[in-house]
Amino acid sequence: MLEPNSFAYGRWIAPGNAAKTLYNPVNGAAFARAGGSTLDFGAMITHATQVGGPALRAMTFHQRAKMLKALAIHLDSRKEELYAINPLTGATRKDGGIDIDGGIITMMVIASKGRREMPDGHVYIDGDVEQVSRKGSFLAQHIAVPLQGVAVHINAFNFPVWGMLEKLAPSLLAGVPAIVKPATQTCFLTEACVRLIIESGILPDGALQLIIGVTGDLLDRMGPQDVVAFTGSADTAFKLRSNPNIMRNSTRFTAEQDSLNASILGPDAVAGTPEFDLFIKQAAAEMTTKAGQKCTAIRRMIVPEQQLDAVTEALAERLKKTTIGDPAGDARMGALVSAGQKADVLEKAAMIGTEAQQVLGGDAFDTPDGPGFLAPMLFRCADPDGAKNIHAIEAFGPVSTLLPYRDTAHAAELANRGQGSLVASLVTHDPAVARDVAVASAAWHGRLYITDRDSMGEATGHGSPLPHLVHGGPGRAGGGEELGGVRGVLHYMQRTAIQGGPDVLTAITGQWVPGSAEVTGPVHPFQRTFREIKIGETITTDPREVTLEDIEHFAHFTGDTFYAHMDDTAAKANPFFPGRVAHGYLLLSFAAGLFVQPDPGPVLANTGLNELSFQKPVSPGDKVHVRLTAKRKTQRTDDYGEVAWNVTLYNQDSEQVAQYELLTMVSYAR
Ligand code: NDP
């Protein structure tokens, strides 16, 4: 008998007398006891906020990203222990792959985004400096810092591993400790994963706690710095978000809940086209993967009315090939998570059946007897405009309904009748159809997935949320957002507008802001190691005259003989130029010639250039000089890091003629 433990205030806590018995959906045997123990939720919050939070916030974003990467590698090396108990959730190994490997990959991607897109510091810089004063002595900058409370993650039964890791990775990267509450039916798999995490010793104490069973008065204790992230049914979401304490404290509450996701077959995708076949394949996969218990699964298939018969026939044929059986074996489809879930799905399917005709069901399949097994159920609705239940009731299993549409506008209208979904897909080879549907429909869906014969080879799947992309949807889907790369991390942080002088902004953000103090180093900065270079370290070069011969030479050498550089009359006719002017690229080359120190040294390579702008033309006879300032430093490997330099070119009248950010890789050693 499995006995998943809670993990609170640094201790494992076994199930209590009131524990719930869990039954195997494949054979009905009792296999676990879960919950029923007494937890001190106040002490859990204290442990998170007094021990976990400070330890996480002492680390930089990069240190936390490295921690997540180490965790993902560790879980990957031990994942077979999770796959071993995965069939007890009713899921096949392939289904488990979405949950277990999917969760680990999500954590890995979030870690990598943290290293690449967040600073190696404690403050995230959100957007550019805002020039709120004329002379630049008073500026503004949005920053984001970790919330100082705890993140409570309440997860659904269908993804016990991914559901935890996709919330945990952004939360920990932000610097916020988490208390995870999995759905009781599949909590044993979450617990096994949490055990691997805790026993690895990779996380600081207090960063992760686990509740098996009920949450007691936890939500009544949520404060203004806490976050509740929920996945599950709309009813539970409504109940939890209505908690007076959560409303009073403006505790952040994000929900990802029931969603009547749609898939549209484009009007061009008639039988015989690759798009038609793709639609059928995708529709069947979405109905049967995880036995349809996926928050993103297709519940409504919206097809051209002329194609309805062909789609019904092709889809039914394909679905009939689905083998249903023991998820530990090689069946295509396993069981629903529990007998209770099966009863719930049948009840909801019956409500859908009042508005649609069932065209495929149990009699077409060889379905085992176990309590969780349920064959795919395909419905077809003749009156999608008059239907209500089909657009409102989510049967969370292998159930889907075909709906005919007249034209593209009607298809989008039907997709939107779900009142907000996590994802809608469209299979079309016509970009104009894609545009029409996107414009009419994007406001109603968190993700629009559009595919055709050209992209299908690499397309990631209607039902796969990606860590890079927003997961969540408006209205009925919960109104929340998760993931989306760094966006998902910001849900656990406070955005604050800092107003102050340039030195203040530089001190807070760790990034040099124009107008703040400049420092002169003992030698040229290109002779200084990554660690020696100081933010604000500046050199100003001697001037160099730009001659007509230089312009001529550059033009013929490179082949860039654009008239503004070569033909005085034509250049004068152009409102931007006083006559012949220097090439912008010539100025960049001269700038490098002015600021580079040529000897071998710690600077390893010039890796790029950002935000280049040419602000004033340079005429023959003008003299340019350069100011180079160390703006930002980012550790990249154990051997070298990236230094971003602010480069400004001036003319003889001290007017700015060009500006850019130069990126160099600089060694830690000389
Ligand atoms: P629930 O909403 O019942 O449960 C979701 C989570 O909330 C579980 O961890 C559950 O714990 C917890 N919970 C329930 N009541 C409370 C409470 N009063 N206080 C604190 N936590 C609570 O969803 P299920 O997972 O049971 O799924 C039910 C239905 O939800 C499905 O049939 C499906 O329609 C929908 N669903 C939608 C998903 C989506 O992402 N779109 C995902 C999964 C489900 P416990 O298990 O211990 O009750």
Residues whose CB falls within 8 Å of the CB of residue 529, separated by 6 or more in sequence, listed in order: 602, 666, 667, 668, 669, 670
394 lines ligand 1 (CB under 6 A): yes
Report how far residue 632's alpha carbon sits from residue 643's, in angstroms, rounded to the nearest whole number: 6
Tens-place pLDDT, residues 413-446 = 999 999 999 999 999 999 999 999 999 999 999 9
Q: Given this model, what pLDDT does residue 308 score?
A: 97
What atom in ligand 1 is closest to the CA of residue 345?
32
CA distances 581 to 22, 550, 562, Å, are 79, 11, 10
Q: Which residues contact 620 (CB under 8 A, 6 or more apart)?
A: 546, 547, 548, 550, 551, 580, 582
Under the banding of pLDDT at 50, 70 and 90, the label for residue 236 is: very high
Q: From the centroid of its chain, how far is CA 110? A: 8
Site to substitute for ligand 1 among 157, 260, 445, most atoms within 8 A of C-beta: 157
| CA 232 / ligand 1 centre spacing (Å) | 4
For 186-211, what is the mean pLDDT? 98
Average pLDDT estimate for 39-52: 98
**pLDDT of 135 over the 90 cut:** no
pLDDT at 636: 84
Pocket flag, ligand 1, residue 184 (CB < 6 Å): yes
3 state SS of 643: strand
Is residue 510 within 8 Å of residue 634, measured between CB atoms?
Answer: no
Candidate of 190, 212, 228, 233 to mutate for ligand 1, largest count of ligand atoms within 8 Å of Cβ: 233
Residue nearest to atom 29 of ligand 1 (CA): 233
Residue 378 token pair: 């395909």
Residue 32 in contact with residue 185, Cβ under 8 Å?
A: no
3-state secondary structure of 266: coil
How remote is the CA of residue 386 from the centroid of ligand 1, in Å? 30
DSSP letters along 309-335, please? HHHHHHHHHHHHT--B--TTTT-SB--
Is residue 189 within 8 Å of 161, Cβ to Cβ? yes
CATH numbers and ranges of domains, the chain:
6-257+487-494 (3.40.605.10), 262-470 (3.40.309.10), 518-667 (3.10.129.10)
232 has a pLDDT exceeding 90: yes
Look at residue 136 and tell me whether its pLDDT is greater than 90: no
CB of 391 closer than 6 angstroms to any ligand 1 atom: no
**Would you state the structure tokens that stand for residue 20, as one six-digit string?**
């719930």
Ligand 1 atom at minimum distance from 213 CA? 47
User: Residue 468: what pLDDT?
Assistant: 96
Percentage of the residues of the chain whose pLDDT score is greater than 70 = 100
Q: Which atom belonging to ligand 1 lies closest to the Cα atom of 215?
A: 20
Is residue 345 a contact partner of residue 399, using CB atoms and an 8 Å limit?
yes
- Is residue 146 within 8 A of residue 173, CB to CB? The reply is no
Cβ contact 199:208 at 8 Å? no
Cα–Cα distances (Å) from 116 to 39, 119, 530, in that order, read 39, 8, 18
Q: Quick check: helix, strand or coil at residue 161?
A: coil
Q: Tell me the C-alpha distance between 667 and 670, whole Å.
A: 7
**Nearest residue by C-alpha to atom 42 in ligand 1:** 232
Q: Tell me the average pLDDT across 67-79.
A: 98
Whose CA is closest to atom 9 on ligand 1? 183
- Does residue 410's CB lie within 6 angstroms of at least one atom of ligand 1? no
Counting from 1 in the atom list of ligand 1, the atom nearest the Cα of 182 is: 9
Report whether residue 664 contacts ligand 1, using a CB cutoff of 6 Å.
no
Contacts of 642 (CB under 8 A, 6+ apart): 607, 633, 634, 636, 663, 664, 665, 666
Q: Is the pLDDT of residue 301 over 90?
A: yes
SS3 sequence of 409-442:
HHHHHHHHCCCCEEEEEEECCCHHHHHHHHHHHH
- Whether ligand 1 lies within 6 angstroms of the CB of 171 is answered as no
pTM above 0.95, yes or no: no
Query: Does the beta carbon of 166 sit less than 6 angstroms from any atom of ligand 1?
Result: no
307, 276, 333, 371: which is closest to 27 by C-alpha?
371
Residue 193 CA to residue 610 CA, distance in Å, equals 42
End-to-end alpha carbon distance in the chain: 61
| Residue to substitute in 154, 166, 231, 236 for testing ligand 1 pocket (most ligand atoms within 8 angstroms of CB) | 236
> What confidence score (pLDDT) does residue 287 get?
96
For the cut 90, the answer to whether the pLDDT of residue 638 exceeds it is no
**pLDDT at residue 469 tops 90:** yes
Q: Which residues are catalytic?
A: 256, 295
Tell me, in angstroms, the distance from the centre of ligand 1 to residue 56's CA.
Answer: 29
Decide whether any atom of ligand 1 lies within 6 Å of the 41 Cβ: no
Percentage with pLDDT > 90 across the chain? 96
Kind of pairing, strands 30-34 and 470-471? unpaired
Distance between CA atoms of residues 610 and 662, nearest Å: 7
| Lowest mean pLDDT across 315-324, 570-579, 631-640 | 631-640
Q: Mean pLDDT across the stretch 55-61?
A: 97
The pLDDT of 145-172, averaged and rounded, is: 98
To the nearest whole number, what is the mean pLDDT of the chain?
96
| 3 state DSSP class of 654 | coil
User: Is 509 near ligand 1, meaning CB less than 6 Å away?
Assistant: no
